[in-house]
Amino acid sequence: MKVAVYSTRRYDRQMLDRANQQHGHQLVYVQDALTPDTVALAEGCGAVCVFVNDTVDASALRALKALGIGLVTTRSTGFNHVDAAAAQRLGIAATRVTDYSPYSVAEFAVGLLLAVNRRIARASQRTRDGNFELDGLMGFDLHGRTVGVVGTGKIGRIFAAIMRGFGCRVLGHDPFPTSEFVGEYVPLPTLLADSDVISLHCPLTPETQHLINAKSLGEVRPGAYLINTSRGGLIDTEAVIDALKTHRLGGLAIDVYEQEADLFFQDLSATVITDDVIQRLVSFPNVIVTGHQAFFTAEAIGQIMATTLENISAFERGEALHNAIPLPR
């Protein structure tokens, strides 16, 4: 099957080519993101493969339908960038990667927490400059602290288990509690008020959009640290900046950003970044921002590419699509 693969980088091509040896699809790599303006690059293909910051809204889907595209598959677990309802109306199948190494994201969240708490990035930069002073680098022991986990799916549960290993008390909040969670479930206001560290591990939905906002930040224990490796839209960034300025938050570490589509997965080091919000964020000494790399391990990428190609093959064979993107509730 001929497939236009959008938002590709060198590592995407390498891993997809390797996984495609078992499938034999004709993959057409497109470095640009999918938008209504780049839909034409999929002409002659039967499917498109997209990533988290591509625009797969109703307008783009109508244009894809006009080209004869029958399948949109995203090489990600998150699918808020795909209008699944519009795809169904147009008769376009939509699939995702329902499962890949949850350890990749959970371990990275722990790494972000350690890095921002113990000022590891600042310390590394100092020693590169020949400065071995310790002033301004003091953190706190995680042992004995309370960690709140918002979203207790596979990733949240693994993160919670790691924190238990550090000797932390673990609280959780999720509308669908599970006995596999190692901590204690509490209402969200209780979690915010009692936690020294808050880590977000939930999908972006209309209910979770700006879950962390001015009001909820007012309920946070003063000096708490906030970690986000899920979706940028969970956080109202302007409200978080205000909370950092007033010391309501003691630190912030994020691998996702609500306006990341215009920034992430690109080298902008030689350009002027016009996003004033992220420029303000990275100016704080107690903030770490990474470019959506929590999923980026060999194990996770290998599984993502294998599942993506299996989705395409299943569609080509006319089989049931077990990884179909669910419709909005």
* 3-class secondary structure per residue, the chain: CEEEECCCCHHHHHHHHHHHCCCCCEEEECCCCCCCCCHHHHCCCCEEEECCCCCECHHHHHHHHHCCCCEEEECCCCCCCECHHHHHHHCCEEECCCCCCHHHHHHHHHHHHHHHHCCHHHHHHHHHCCCCCCCCCCCCCCCCCEEEEECCCHHHHHHHHHHHHCCCEEEEECCCCCCCCCCEECCHHHHHHHCCEEEECCCCCCCCCCCECHHHHCCCCCCEEEEECCCHHHECHHHHHHHHHCCCEEEEEECCCCCHHHCCCCCCCCCCCCCHHHHHHHCCCCEEECCCCCCCCHHHHHHHHHHHHHHHHHHHHCCCCCCECCCCC
Instruction: Tally the C-alpha atoms within 13 A of residue 278's C-alpha that lie toward its C-beta.
Output: 19
Active-site residue, from 81, 107, 221, 260:
260
107 is catalytic: no
119 is catalytic: no
292 is catalytic: yes
Active-site residue, from 107, 231, 258, 310:
231
Active site residues: 231, 260, 292
